[in-house]
Structure 1
Amino acid sequence: MDDDDGKDDDVVEKPNDDEEEEEEEEEFNYEGVDETEDMGVEDEDDLAAALVSSSSSVMQPAQSPPQVLTQVRPEVVDDFIRNFLIKVGMTRTLASFNSEWYELRAKGKLAEEHTTTVPDIYLRNQELDEKVSSLQQQVDKMREITAKARGTWDKFRKERDFHRMHHRRVVQEKNKLTTDLQRLRKHYLSYEPTLKDLQRKYEVAMKEKMLTRLERDRIKARVHTLEAQLKQLHDERAEKQHPGAASKPRAPKKGADSRLPSGPVANPFASLAFDPPPVDRFQLRRTFRAHLNSVSAAAFHPTKPILATVSDDMTWKLWSVPNCDLVMSGEGHKDWVAGVDFHPAGTHLATSSGDKTVKVWDFAGASCATTFADHAQAVWDCAFHHTGDFLASCSMDHTTRLWDLSSLRCRQTLRGHVDSVNSVCWQPYSNHVCTASGDKTVSIWDARTGLCVQTFYGHTNACNAVAVNNRGDVLASCDADGAIKLWDVRTVTEIGTIQVSQHPCNRVCFDRSATRIIAASDDGFLRGYATDDLSAAETWLGRGHEDAVQCVAFDPADALLISTSTDCTFRIWS
């Protein structure tokens, strides 16, 4: 060890809850130990104490086990010299010493005083020298460890200072953010009464607006009916006065735009009552493998027992029901086909595809009559207006388009959704288009102005489909969380929610009586519910398919139920 005094710095941190920790440096003096200090006295005292304790332990009672004493023979001169030579590595000198020593000893030329034991002082000095060497090695090792520890301590101190500075900066930013949040909260609370008042006024205004609109549409429908009756009476009077002179109405010019629907007309289903179908007794009748890929949608012919199916294999097919003989098939799309609908007259079929197009197929010519390609992305669904003059389609490009089948052009583009529009349908015998979007909303649009009439909020995930009952007063929408919501169009309120399953619900449909609703889910099950009593248990139809059910639909007479699936089949239930 060195004779110099060593100094080290130590930092003691005192925690404080309100203020930051303060540093206090304490200096410690480390005194060196003199290597030349005589330790012999202490060693002799320790040896004497050890001998005393050893002797006392020997004088224990007889029952203690006997101790074995080991005697050490004193070292003689020649052994001392040999050990020294071996220690310092003088092998040649050792060999010469041994030969000469034994020669002299054999001849008796060595005196007795030269062959006695080595004096204790030499042995003691040798022992102390070995101990000093060992302690010196330990001191060198400790110096190396101390140097490494000092470097590590400096590194840790720098890291501590860095983290402490970072902590102070974070605390300052936290205090600043807390102050800003408190100020913003007070600011928000000052505006909250005004927001509540505006929200209440908005709800009242929207309700009054919808009631006024419904009353206006009712009056317009009555006026339209009276005008038609008046015109019919006028024509009959003219026919009686001038037989055969009644003029035929002029046909519209070819290629001219069709007249946009002016307003709602009398709904024939408004005054009709139908018995609900016995959905709880429906059973699986037949299963048909219709396509090479997933069957994404299906639609019934309005007057004939014909079913149309479309698939991800880019084809559409017509089937006779219930035998399901193939009547016709069509190819022309360049990507999957997702939507299908019959013309109200049953003369054409519309299909929408992932190739960004909507095609109208003519049964008489067995060919594609026209293709609408204005959408920028894949087209999910399409639906004909009850007049047959217009076709609505919805797309992944966030828009819904209104196509004129006379002029073969897009008459309206309905913009407002902020995500993919997944489903579209017409409110029966009206000029309103209903859409369901991936932005979790369901909207009603006026086809004449292209404006959104009403938006329904409440879904917590993307809306996959929307359906309207025959009377047009109730909407049903389903979402990716497996929930169905019913909406009252007249009062713009939510009627109730049905939790179908934990899997996404892909399609819903009403029966003619509007008292039963069927849901198709990704878990392969079909489930039926009573819309007039949402608290009632579901009507279990069972596991309909081996994979996700993509579409479900009643035939016009509610005698059959068709379901399509990702397992490439469609099934008939009755």
Structure 2
Amino acid sequence: MAEEEEAVSEAAFSLQNITITDEIKDDYHYEEVSADDDISLHEDDEDLSKALQTVQEQTKDAQVLALQSVLTSGKSVAEIPQAMDDFFCNFLVRLGMSRTLDCFQTEWYELIERGLITVEDAGLVPDVYTRNQQLETENLSLKKDLEAYKQSVTKTEEALQKMQRERDFHRMHHNRVVQEKNRLISDMKRLKAHYASYEPVLKQLSEKYQNSLTQKMLTSLERDKAMGQVTGLQAALESLESGYTKQIPETKVGHDCTRKKRFEGPTQKALREARQQKFLVASSSCDADEDAEKKMGRRDLKDSEFPVDAEGAPDLEQAKEHPQPLKPGQYQLSSILKVHDFAVGCLALHPRKKIVLSGGDDRLWKTWGFPDGNILLTGEGHTDYLSGCCFRPSGTQLVTSSGDTTVRLWDLSRRGCILTLRGHCRAVRACCWHSCGDFVASASADGTSKIWDVNSERCRYTLRGHEDSVNSIEFLPFSSTVLTSSADKTLSLWDVRTGLRVYTFQGHVHPCNHATFNKKGAERPHVDNLPDKHGVLGDTIASCDSSGVMKLWDMRKLLPILSIDAGPHPANQVSFHRSGGLVALASSEGSVKVLCLAVGQLSILRGPGVEVRCVRFHSQEHLLSAGADGRVCVWTWAQ
């Protein structure tokens, strides 16, 4: 370390030594001072303050030299940059400017002593080679940037050209599409005009076809009736000729729905053969499990016979009361019954007693007395909400459907589930019991409906055809026809004897939530031992959709009769009064809307204000509505 300090001090001293040649001449005269005099001067005049100042100056010079050695470490002497003051001193020495040199040194060191300038502020004089290297480095960097900019410009030009080509292609394609669209519009206008010219002819032909079909049906019925009378007369004549009286069997309408043997006319025979042919074609198109259900040769011995439309009897309890048109008045809220803890999803009436069945989101079904609301029975077993319920016509059993994809049969005397029907792959939305008590129908969110045989405990048919969830299902009383409503905005009529769709009603623009038949005419009389197929029973269908629109359909003409917009809130269920003159609608806005068909007036019944899930007419003068709060409102007709 001492050697380094000596080298630094020598370097500093060599920088301060200035040799003045004899060639330099100025007006200043130098006096020679002997070494002895200098030493004696220092020895005589030296004091403590000057000694301290000298030490400080040497310390600062050592720091400056140390800084220069750090900056120039690792480099040769030729590569060490010069300090700013050395550069000026050497420059002035080379030019022989001695007086300027003296002035510069005087001012320079005076500023340093005062602290107005430091060595760090002065810096170093860059070497020409170092500067050239810096400039070359900058030059290379600028060249690289220039190359990068050139590449970016090239890529941008290529992308622009590609986008221009794509723009031209899409513009050409757009022009072609516009031309095709204009051509299609002109073709559609031409076809509409052409169709409009044929529409009167088609309408006339359709009317002629309907008239001829009706005439043919009447003729066939009269012929069958005449042939039946001829057969009866022949049998009576044979009995008289044989010497004894033979009683001719008389066909009467009974409560059972089994098929009875009777004379079959040519028309009925042709219809039967056509149905069998249609049945065979449908069976061949079904999958393996459905083939096992539908093939006649593999029927179960316990299978029930499907009912015939011409047979069947009205419900005995309904026949006791003859529904009459209600006198002018309106429904008023008489009581509110707390039945379930959660929303009530379905209501059903006992066929003979004043008992009401309800199912709710609490996974329970309950039977309770009307009008007091006392709970009689409670059933549990479903693992999800109850969506539908219905009593068996005998009143001893009931069926329920649930969101757990099952349909369950319950025996009221055993107070338990006696049969669980599984086959749907999604939630079951509704269920109903046929008037003969041998069949149960179910509708599911998987887009299918099923006809279950209670006696053989299996699915007889799966009704496929709807494109979305089937939300309701109902049998036409005393017939083999079933009605379904679906979220695909249609209603469908099905023949349960073949499992085929007979007709589809189209007219709703929103998903259908419920559909039902009117019950008027359940006590229709007998006419010539042949019930009237075209009587009042089930001649009208009421349906509702998710936008609150309610529609009435003519069952015989298969045409819409009336459309009422009771929205915009969804309509959940519709119900006919037994007189057929009133239709009740359960609305999600928290009200029940009643339509009087005689005057076309729609009245609104407001209760607790919660969503109304289901509605049902009870007896002649009462109306039941159940809501999302688990309560049932009882409405009474007041004149």
- TM-score, with structure 1 as normaliser: 0.64
Instruction: Please say if residues 263 and 430 of structure 1, whose CA atoms lie closer than 8 Å, have aligned partners that are also in contact.
Output: yes
Paired residue for 2:545?
A: 479
Q: Which has more radius of gyration?
A: 2
SS in 2 for 1:330: strand
Paired residue for 2:621?
A: 559
Decide whether aligned partners of structure 1 residues 189 and 522 sit closer, same or farther in structure 2, where only a CA change above 3 A counts.
Answer: same
Q: What is the letter of the counterpart of residue 613 of structure 2?
A: Q
Q: Establish whether residue 449 from structure 1 lines up as the match of residue 498 from structure 2.
A: yes
Of 282, 306, 324 in structure 2, the residue corresponding to residue 274 of structure 1 is: 324
Shift of 1:561: 1.7
Decide whether aligned partners of structure 1 residues 184 and 422 sit closer, same or farther in structure 2, where only a CA change above 3 A counts.
Answer: same
- For 2:325 and 2:85, how far apart are their aligned partners in 1? 122
Instruction: Please say if residues 323 and 620 of structure 2, whose CA atoms lie closer than 8 Å, have aligned partners that are also in contact.
Output: no
Residue deviations 1:473-506, cap 9 Å, x none? Answer: 1111111111111111122111121111212111
Equivalent positions of 1:117-266 (< 5 A) are: 156-182=156-182, 184=184, 193=194, 200=203, 256-265=302-311
Decide whether aligned partners of structure 1 residues 297 and 335 sit closer, same or farther in structure 2, where only a CA change above 3 A counts.
Answer: same
Shift of 1:92: 5.7
Q: What is the letter of the counterpart of residue 281 of structure 1?
A: Y
Of 307, 322, 330 in structure 1, the residue corresponding to residue 356 of structure 2 is: 307
Instruction: Please say if residues 257 and 307 of structure 2, whose CA atoms lie closer than 8 Å, have aligned partners that are also in contact.
Output: no
- TM-score, with structure 2 as normaliser: 0.58
SS in 2 for 1:283: strand
Q: Establish whether residue 424 from structure 1 lines up as the match of residue 463 from structure 2.
A: no
Paired residue for 1:496?
A: 562
- For 1:363 and 1:502, how far apart are their aligned partners in 2? 41
Decide whether aligned partners of structure 1 residues 362 and 521 sit closer, same or farther in structure 2, where only a CA change above 3 A counts.
Answer: same
Residue deviations 1:418-455, cap 9 Å, x none? Answer: 11111011223332111101110011112223222221
Paired residue for 2:377?
A: 328
Q: What is the letter of the counterpart of residue 463 of structure 1?
A: C
Paired residue for 1:349?
A: 398
- For 1:277 and 1:475, how far apart are their aligned partners in 2? 24
Paired residue for 2:612?
A: 549
Instruction: Please say if residues 337 and 373 of structure 2, whose CA atoms lie closer than 8 Å, have aligned partners that are also in contact.
Output: no
Of 513, 520, 537 in structure 1, the residue corresponding to residue 579 of structure 2 is: 513
- For 2:167 and 2:143, how far apart are their aligned partners in 1? 35
Instruction: Please say if residues 257 and 311 of structure 2, whose CA atoms lie closer than 8 Å, have aligned partners that are also in contact.
Output: no
Instruction: Please say if residues 350 and 356 of structure 2, whose CA atoms lie closer than 8 Å, have aligned partners that are also in contact.
Output: yes
Paired residue for 1:100?
A: 102
- For 2:460 and 2:208, how far apart are their aligned partners in 1? 30
Instruction: Please say if residues 210 and 491 of structure 1, whose CA atoms lie closer than 8 Å, have aligned partners that are also in contact.
Output: no
Residue deviations 1:139-177, cap 9 Å, x none? Answer: xxx999999987776555444322211111112222333
Decide whether aligned partners of structure 1 residues 363 and 202 sit closer, same or farther in structure 2, where only a CA change above 3 A counts.
Answer: farther
Equivalent positions of 1:64-79 (< 5 A) are: none
Shift of 1:213: 9.9
Q: What is the letter of the counterpart of residue 101 of structure 1?
A: C
Q: What is the letter of the counterpart of residue 559 of structure 1?
A: E
Shift of 1:377: 2.5
Q: What is the letter of the counterpart of residue 626 of structure 2?
A: T
SS in 1 for 2:170: helix
Instruction: Please say if residues 444 and 454 of structure 1, whose CA atoms lie closer than 8 Å, have aligned partners that are also in contact.
Output: yes
Residue deviations 1:193-226, cap 9 Å, x none? Answer: 4696697589658856985798699889999x99
Shift of 1:352: 1.1
Of 333, 340, 343 in structure 2, the residue corresponding to residue 283 of structure 1 is: 333
SS in 2 for 1:177: helix
Q: What is the letter of the counterpart of residue 416 of structure 1?
A: G
Residue deviations 1:385-437, cap 9 Å, x none? Answer: 22222222111222222222233232332222111111011223332111101
Instruction: Please say if residues 381 and 395 of structure 1, whose CA atoms lie closer than 8 Å, have aligned partners that are also in contact.
Output: yes
Residue deviations 1:34-69, cap 9 Å, x none? Answer: xxxxxxxxxxxxxxxxxxxxxxxxxxxxxxxxxxxx
- For 2:568 and 2:494, how far apart are their aligned partners in 1? 31
Shift of 1:309: 0.7
- For 1:346 and 1:218, how far apart are their aligned partners in 2? 37
Decide whether aligned partners of structure 1 residues 101 and 462 sit closer, same or farther in structure 2, where only a CA change above 3 A counts.
Answer: same
Decide whether aligned partners of structure 1 residues 560 and 214 sit closer, same or farther in structure 2, where only a CA change above 3 A counts.
Answer: farther
Decide whether aligned partners of structure 1 residues 156 and 441 sit closer, same or farther in structure 2, where only a CA change above 3 A counts.
Answer: same
Shift of 1:379: 1.5
SS in 2 for 1:403: strand
Instruction: Please say if residues 394 and 400 of structure 1, whose CA atoms lie closer than 8 Å, have aligned partners that are also in contact.
Output: yes
- For 1:545 and 1:226, how far apart are their aligned partners in 2? 62
Q: What is the letter of the counterpart of residue 100 of structure 1?
A: D
- For 2:331 and 2:220, how far apart are their aligned partners in 1? 40
- For 1:216 and 1:334, how far apart are their aligned partners in 2? 55
Instruction: Please say if residues 280 and 541 of structure 1, whose CA atoms lie closer than 8 Å, have aligned partners that are also in contact.
Output: no
- For 2:622 and 2:143, how far apart are their aligned partners in 1? 95
Decide whether aligned partners of structure 1 residues 449 and 466 sit closer, same or farther in structure 2, where only a CA change above 3 A counts.
Answer: same
- For 1:427 and 1:217, how far apart are their aligned partners in 2? 24
Instruction: Please say if residues 607 and 633 of structure 2, whose CA atoms lie closer than 8 Å, have aligned partners that are also in contact.
Output: no
SS in 1 for 2:309: coil
- For 1:517 and 1:298, how far apart are their aligned partners in 2? 16
Residue deviations 1:63-109, cap 9 Å, x none? Answer: xxxxxxxxxxxxxxxxxxxxxxxxx994566799988338999xxxx
Paired residue for 1:523?
A: 589
Instruction: Please say if residues 336 and 631 of structure 2, whose CA atoms lie closer than 8 Å, have aligned partners that are also in contact.
Output: no
Decide whether aligned partners of structure 1 residues 91 and 398 sit closer, same or farther in structure 2, where only a CA change above 3 A counts.
Answer: same
Q: What is the letter of the counterpart of residue 530 of structure 1?
A: C
SS in 2 for 1:281: strand
SS in 2 for 1:526: strand
Shift of 1:511: 0.8
Q: What is the letter of the counterpart of residue 496 of structure 2?
A: A
- For 1:150 and 1:202, how far apart are their aligned partners in 2? 80
Instruction: Please say if residues 314 and 334 of structure 1, whose CA atoms lie closer than 8 Å, have aligned partners that are also in contact.
Output: yes
Decide whether aligned partners of structure 1 residues 395 and 277 sit closer, same or farther in structure 2, where only a CA change above 3 A counts.
Answer: farther
Higher alpha-carbon deviation: 373-382 or 299-308: 373-382
Q: What is the letter of the counterpart of residue 169 of structure 1?
A: F
- For 1:203 and 1:297, how far apart are their aligned partners in 2? 42
- For 1:217 and 1:486, how far apart are their aligned partners in 2? 31
Give aligned pairs, total. Answer: 432
Paired residue for 1:236?
A: none
Higher alpha-carbon deviation: 324-333 or 390-399: 390-399
Q: Establish whether residue 379 from structure 1 lines up as the match of residue 428 from structure 2.
A: yes
Paired residue for 2:516?
A: 467
SS in 2 for 1:296: strand
- For 1:283 and 1:521, how far apart are their aligned partners in 2? 16
Decide whether aligned partners of structure 1 residues 210 and 287 sit closer, same or farther in structure 2, where only a CA change above 3 A counts.
Answer: farther
Instruction: Please say if residues 342 and 630 of structure 2, whose CA atoms lie closer than 8 Å, have aligned partners that are also in contact.
Output: yes
Instruction: Please say if residues 255 and 408 of structure 1, whose CA atoms lie closer than 8 Å, have aligned partners that are also in contact.
Output: no
Q: What is the letter of the counterpart of residue 162 of structure 1?
A: K
Higher alpha-carbon deviation: 193-202 or 428-437: 193-202
- For 2:449 and 2:216, how far apart are their aligned partners in 1? 23
Higher alpha-carbon deviation: 374-383 or 257-266: 257-266
SS in 1 for 2:330: helix
Decide whether aligned partners of structure 1 residues 438 and 213 sit closer, same or farther in structure 2, where only a CA change above 3 A counts.
Answer: farther
Of 484, 507, 510 in structure 2, the residue corresponding to residue 458 of structure 1 is: 507
Q: What is the letter of the counterpart of residue 559 of structure 2?
A: T
Residue deviations 1:500-534, cap 9 Å, x none? Answer: 12121111111112121111122222211222344
SS in 2 for 1:334: coil
Residue deviations 1:118-138, cap 9 Å, x none? Answer: xxxxxxxxxxxxxxxxxxxxx
SS in 1 for 2:166: helix
